[in-house]
A and B are shown apart, each in its own frame.
Chain A
Amino acid sequence: MRKKLMKKARAGTLESGDVLVTIEPGDSLDIQLTSPVINQFGEAIRRSVHEVIDSFGVTSGTITLEDQGALECTIRARLMTAIRRSLEGEEGVSQ
């Protein structure tokens, strides 16, 4: 089930322990990550991101994560919200 990101969407915040995810449609897959724990968890975060977008069947788009030391469960939740918003809804309007 391949899905295409439809529109720009965001989820999360820049508070400590959170992550701000921004998604934009695009022709290729591009993951941008900034994090205070990039040396310790950079690879782990990228792995999580790939797992989540794979589960949605998303194969292209620009995904930017401004991480503030979020735990994996938070990163996954924020990314899922952003993808759902990009796939279906208007930005910031919940279902």
Chain B
Amino acid sequence: MRRSYLFLPGNQPTMLQNGAVLPADVLIFDLEDSVAPTEKDAARELVASALRSVDYGERVLAVRINDLEKPYVKKDLETVVTAGAHSVMVPKVTGARTIQHVAVMLDLIEEEYDIEKGRTKIIALIETALGIEHAFDAATSSQRVEALALGGEDLCADLGCPRTKEGTEILYSRSRLLIAARAAGIEAVDTPFTDARDEDGCYADTVFARSLGFDGKLSISPHHLRPIHRAFMPSQETVAFALEVIEAMEMAKRERRGAVSLRGKMIDLPVVRQAAKTLELARASGMTLPEKEGTPS
């Protein structure tokens, strides 16, 4: 379950330690924007050290590397891949070429260090107009790509529009990115809410993103984790319906029927998938679900 993606500044030891207890689903150790150019080497060392020695439990561990224009990329990748990062977040993805470039480097590193090929996944951060235009190409350019994420701040700078709390200016980009991700069969992650103190605003923004279909949201502040998770908490009614759908599906399986129906209506596969996801969200949200009944003989 990946609802929340929390950025941790790569050169701040206390925050890297805090990541072990903050309730984020995905931790993104940042080597890019939050690290001064003169401290890239220090952050790389610190992040690698944390990845090796800190127990982050079930959290998915990703590292945002520097963009490909910078000279650090190879070192970034080598350090974090060997330290065990699950994914790399590639910033400023403009299309398939950015991804393929990183994927080739990952191939070489995994081979050199005897790491299972393809283990390291890629989260493509789309934050330019060109990136939006090529989002589907980027998403399908490598098996490693597991999610598209939106970076609204840089995107607005590129579009030449002010970034507002309401976010009307990025509505099209959000929808476009979501469709690209869905078409490619990968996850879509929404842009971070930028006001760390406004938890209600973050909640509203996340509810909206979820209504568009986003699976998760980037977060620049630990204070946003609670509102994000609250926004992804399914309603009691949705959960009740999902339970019925799953029950109907299991009954159909037991009775060896191909088609699944609920109250006389046929249920399609996407509905079943959606129901399963709802229950997963409910469990992640700490909702108590009824115990599974024993299968009657």
Chain A interface (Cβ < 8 Å from any Cβ of B): 11-12, 15-18, 70-74, 76-78, 80-81, 84-85, 89, 92-95
Top 9 closest pairs, chain A to chain B, by CB: A94-B41, A17-B14, A77-B49, A94-B40, A73-B53, A74-B13, A77-B45, A73-B49, A92-B38
Chain B interface (Cβ < 8 Å from any Cβ of A): 12-14, 17, 37-42, 44-46, 48-50, 52-54, 72, 75
25 of the cross-chain contacts (CB-CB < 8 Å) are A11-B42, A12-B42, A15-B13, A15-B14, A16-B14, A17-B14, A18-B14, A71-B17, A73-B52, A74-B49, A77-B42, A77-B46, A77-B50, A78-B42, A81-B42, A84-B45, A89-B41, A92-B39, A93-B38, A94-B37, A94-B39, A94-B41, A94-B42, A94-B44, A94-B72
The chain B residue sitting closest to A91, CB to CB, is B38
Main SS class of interface, B: helix
Contact assessment for A78 and B41 in the assembled complex, using a CB-CB cutoff below 8 Å: no
Q: How far is it, in angstroms, between the C-alpha of A11 and the C-alpha of B38 when the chains are bound?
A: 10
The chain B residue sitting closest to A80, CB to CB, is B45
A45 to chain B, nearest CB (A): 14
Contacts of A72 in B (CB 8 A): 53
16 new A-B contacts at CB < 8 Å, known A17-B13, A74-B46, A81-B46? A11-B42, A15-B12, A16-B14, A18-B13, A18-B14, A73-B50, A73-B54, A76-B49, A77-B13, A77-B48, A78-B45, A81-B42, A84-B45, A89-B41, A92-B38, A94-B44
